[in-house]
């Protein structure tokens, strides 16, 4: 999932200070799981802003709305009318959601309420760990399902380096050495011979931005539908 964390309250206050009406819009998927921008977080932020404005004697309209996903047009389309009447929208979604919302709500200004961090997993309660860089050229099969590009501080595809100590990374004693993890995983899979190979340099050409993926199935279905007509 995409992991994010809420911007500092001071930053949020500064970003909406010039508006008389603010709609805080949450997203019910990734950012809800990591407790950064779901319905609950929208309610908490709205309460904070209302309290702040009341203490300062400001009359600011604060609205709350959470949809299932801000990265899909089908979920944004039904709420377009509800946005009217607000000067600005504070999106609690990831960067992708903020951008699509800004596109569909134009010319209404859409501001980010969270910082998008990484693609990761739930490591423990209240803790999330980066696991994938979405590089577009997955090499997990060669490393026992552990990504050296992400887990290794140096992103080595041929490791380890000489800095690991007692299974920990020299960049931080709290971080496990990715190559110790890879070694142990491959050993359990009886695939240690894999480490004798010299892997080619990572192909970064797959990271051309902005990325785009088109479903061949949908293209074929569309072509067939036109042919039938």
Quick one: 6 and 114 in the same domain? yes
Quick one: 20 and 98 in the same domain? yes
**pLDDT digit string, tens, across residues 70-107:** 999 999 999 999 999 999 999 999 999 999 999 999 99
Residue 206 in any domain: the answer is no
Counting the structural domains of the chain, the total is 2
Return d(Cα 149, Cα 127) in angstroms, integer: 21
pLDDT of residue 208: 77
Q: Which residues of the chain have pLDDT under 70?
A: 219-229
| CATH number of the domain bearing residue 47 | 3.40.50.10660
Say which residue the tokens 């047009």 belong to: 73
Residue 60 in any domain: the answer is yes
Quick one: 158 and 102 in the same domain? no
pLDDT of residue 96: 97
Q: Which domain holds residue 176?
A: 135-201
Residue 175 in any domain: the answer is yes
pLDDT of residue 91: 98
Residue 222 in any domain: the answer is no
pLDDT of residue 221: 58
pLDDT of residue 219: 66
Mean pLDDT of the chain: 93
pLDDT of residue 217: 74
């Amino acid at each position: 999932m995409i992991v994010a964390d809420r911007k500092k309250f001071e930053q949020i206050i500064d970003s909406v200070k010039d508006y008389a009406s603010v709609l805080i819009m949450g997203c019910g998927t990734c950012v809800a799981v990591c407790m950064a921008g779901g319905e609950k977080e929208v309610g908490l932020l709205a309460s904070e802003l209302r309290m702040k404005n009341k203490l300062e004697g400001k009359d600011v309209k604060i609205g709350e709305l959470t949809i299932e996903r801000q990265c899909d047009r089908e979920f944004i389309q039904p709420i377009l009318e509800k946005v009217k009447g607000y000067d600005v929208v504070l999106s609690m979604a990831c960067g992708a959601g903020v951008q699509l919302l800004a596109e569909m709500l134009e010319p209404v200004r859409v501001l980010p309420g969270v910082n998008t961090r990484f693609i990761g997993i739930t490591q423990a309660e209240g803790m999330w760990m980066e696991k994938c860089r979405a590089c577009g050229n997955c090499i997990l099969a060669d490393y026992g399902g552990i990504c050296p590009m992400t887990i290794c501080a140096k992103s080595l595809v041929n490791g380890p380096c000489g800095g690991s100590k007692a299974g920990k990374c020299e960049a931080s004693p709290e971080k496990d050495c990715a190559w110790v993890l890879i070694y142990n995983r491959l050993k359990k899979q009886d695939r240690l011979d894999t480490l004798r190979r010299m892997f080619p340099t990572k192909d970064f050409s797959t990271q051309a931005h902005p990325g785009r993926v088109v479903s061949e199935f949908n293209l074929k279905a569309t072509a067939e539908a036109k042919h039938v007509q």
